[in-house]
Structure 1
């Protein structure tokens, strides 16, 4: 009997088996029916509560799966819309899916793929936007408004990306053009600062601090370019003013050198000054050629020469006066001076006459004498030949009076040859006189004054 009950219990559902075992226990215990009924009701209620919890849990799981699927599909649709790709419906493309879990598991990889595409596309946008922001801040800092990136990232399409790329390319082109302008101005400024001996870094720092930095971006705004252009114009004006000052110093220096016959070795010390006497603004490129220190150095030398000139003025006047007299002697204008009062040394020493003015007058007389000597050159050559013929004529007369002229002796044959040549030359004297007279008359008509030779009028003075 016992084994039969056990076999029957094993064939029952676990709950029925337990209930049967409970009844056996109650029979043995003698539990009243009321207690039994109450306990069974409690057991039924507890079972219902357990089933209800399980059903509720299953409902919540199903709802969560549906919500996750819907959210995933919505996110996929949103990403596709943002990046400009057509949406893909997983459930429609795969009819073999069974249950919500398989459906969610099928959507998740595609969602991850779309998220990756969105991140990559967004990184491309961020790179372009950062470049636009950077260039805009360089070329238009005054009116630059930082580019606000879209919070929802709703439009990441290729069309929008191409628009931003074109905007970036336009800004890059403008930046290249502005950078070329800035670099041209900076190169010009550098050259000007070198010539003028001005601190280049300090100059560009005053225009804009970014221009002084070796690395990093430079401010390329309209204001910076305008200020650079103004700085170039200002330094170029200073360069022209200093260049004119240097050229004035060079002219004065050359005049003083010529006046005082300064040695070439001493002049070569300032060759870099005099070589720029006729240079144009763009031809002066040597560093510090127009610096304040160098101009002061040249000015000091000019002042030294001026002082030296003052101390040597008497000697210079005497030297130039001797030069004038030498020119007159060579041109046989002796006896026509008439300028002794102008060049009175005593008047110069007493300060009654400006020595510089006297030097100018002497130079003017020298120029006049040189001009007249050139006009007299042909006549003077003929006068020299005429005077030589006259000397030979006088010698021939003395020779003819010598009774021993035919005696053979040492050098007699040379004397005979000279006599023969002297007779030929004497015979030409009338022709010489005619030609010389014609030349002198023509010269006097042209110059409007009488021709003299060492103060004597040829052919009218017996001493000639």
Structure 2
């Protein structure tokens, strides 16, 4: 009986020892796992000094577990915070990379974080990369906004719809509410650059076309002596006739409807040119005839006018060339008139003296000239002046002959006065005067 009780006690003891051994083994395993986890967390976080890790001592297993637990809890908390930081930074990196690549909308779902390396060094590397990407994004956004502004200005000058033009490049570029939402992808930048280049080329071509039309308008206006009031209606066209491309910035300055308006006006004036040309050419011819008439140069006006009409109707001569030729004729006629002025002034004085000479002869033949009639004293005074003037006629004629001969020698042509050589007129007058003088002398001898 005692042996049985002893055996039972021994069995109970063995079970207790075995249970204690198992419990110790479990505790040791838990402690080992805790230490391994602690080591893994410290390695992953890479910052051992930030957590109070217990040193090895003579504590019991439970005491060691109790000492490790706070450190583990703190490390787990740090890990969660660090994972969140990594996730946030990498999400921002992924988002910006997606925006640059042009597939931001495809970047969905949370990123897996490599929990084996959650060190501050690794986090700093990601943050440095994020800052670089943020700067690149800022630079790209500035470039995009610069392109958008350029497109806006070009569309304004060209009279084009800015919104439809810019949204055709990318829909986000037409959004005026959010700057950060605008696309900054390589494709968007490339398409913006192409759009700006195309608009600049369009601007250059339109300006060239407008300047050609402006030149045609000015030529037609000058050709047809268009009034200033009519010209002012197209100041918005002619104001850029010599402008550089970069200097044309007024909204609508190169709009298609403005160019079409100028084209219509050029066509209208071109159709009027022929009839208006005849009117202008005849006006020039009248001016030319007046100049010639004022200096006693005889021409055939009818023949000249018929020739002008025939030239215009034939279309064989450019209107500008015809008018330029007529202007040249007018200029030469004015020069001719100026060269004849001194001689013509002397001719006028000579003819005036001749008139007085003729009057004096009639006066001398009047037997009643000394009667006390009304106005007799006035005629007497005139006769006295006429005698003085008549005595100067020979000197006038001699001077006039000398001046005329010098003029003819200088130009190699005869000095014509109303179709008659002036020297011939003077010679004829001298002969007639000499005959009259001889007649007077014969009469004196007779009486």
Q: 2:329 aligns with which of 369, 381, 393?
A: 369
* Distance in 2 separating the partners of 1:421 and 1:326: 31
Q: 2:173 aligns with which of 195, 203, 211?
A: 211
* Distance in 1 separating the partners of 2:81 and 2:414: 110
Superposition map of 1:4-23 within 5 A: none
Question: Residue 152 of structure 2 corresponds to which residue in structure 1?
Answer: 190
Deviations 1:175-227 (A, max 9, x none): 34444443333333222222222222222333333333333433334443333
Q: 1:302 aligns with which of 266, 285, 297?
A: 266
Q: Is residue 139–residue 220 contact of structure 1 (8 Å, CA) maintained in 2?
A: yes
* Distance in 2 separating the partners of 1:219 and 1:394: 100
* Distance in 1 separating the partners of 2:395 and 2:406: 19
Q: 1:441 aligns with which of 409, 426, 434?
A: 409
Question: Residue 220 of structure 1 corresponds to which residue in structure 2?
Answer: 184
TM-score relative to the length of structure 2: 0.71
Question: Residue 16 of structure 1 corresponds to which residue in structure 2?
Answer: none
- Corresponding residue SS for 1:155: coil
Deviations 1:254-275 (A, max 9, x none): 3333344433333222210121
Distance 1:151 1:459, change over 3 A: same
* 1:233 maps to 2:197: yes
* Distance in 1 separating the partners of 2:308 and 2:191: 60
Distance 1:343 1:164, change over 3 A: same
Deviation of 1:333 after TM superposition, in Å, equals: 4.7
- Corresponding residue SS for 1:288: coil
* 1:250 maps to 2:210: no
Superposition map of 1:316-331 within 5 A: 316-329=280-293
Q: Is residue 379–residue 436 contact of structure 1 (8 Å, CA) maintained in 2?
A: no
- Figure out how many residues of one structure are paired with residues of the other and give that number: 412
Question: Residue 27 of structure 1 corresponds to which residue in structure 2?
Answer: none
Please report the RMSD computed on the Cα atoms of aligned residues, expressed in angstroms. 4.7
Deviates more, 1:330-339 or 1:180-189: 330-339
* Distance in 2 separating the partners of 1:77 and 1:413: 147
* 1:92 maps to 2:55: yes
Superposition map of 1:40-439 within 5 A: 56=19, 65-86=27-48, 90-92=53-55, 99-141=60-102, 151-214=113-176, 215=178, 216-309=180-273, 312=276, 315-329=279-293, 333-335=297-299, 339-344=304-309, 353-354=314-315, 357=317, 359-360=319-320, 362-376=322-336, 378-391=338-351, 393-394=353-354, 397=357, 430=398, 434=402, 437-439=405-407
TM-score relative to the length of structure 1: 0.69
Q: Is residue 247–residue 274 contact of structure 1 (8 Å, CA) maintained in 2?
A: yes
Distance 1:152 1:361, change over 3 A: closer
Deviation of 1:309 after TM superposition, in Å, equals: 4.2
Q: Is residue 210–residue 217 contact of structure 1 (8 Å, CA) maintained in 2?
A: yes
Question: Residue 31 of structure 1 corresponds to which residue in structure 2?
Answer: none
Q: Is residue 389–residue 429 contact of structure 1 (8 Å, CA) maintained in 2?
A: no
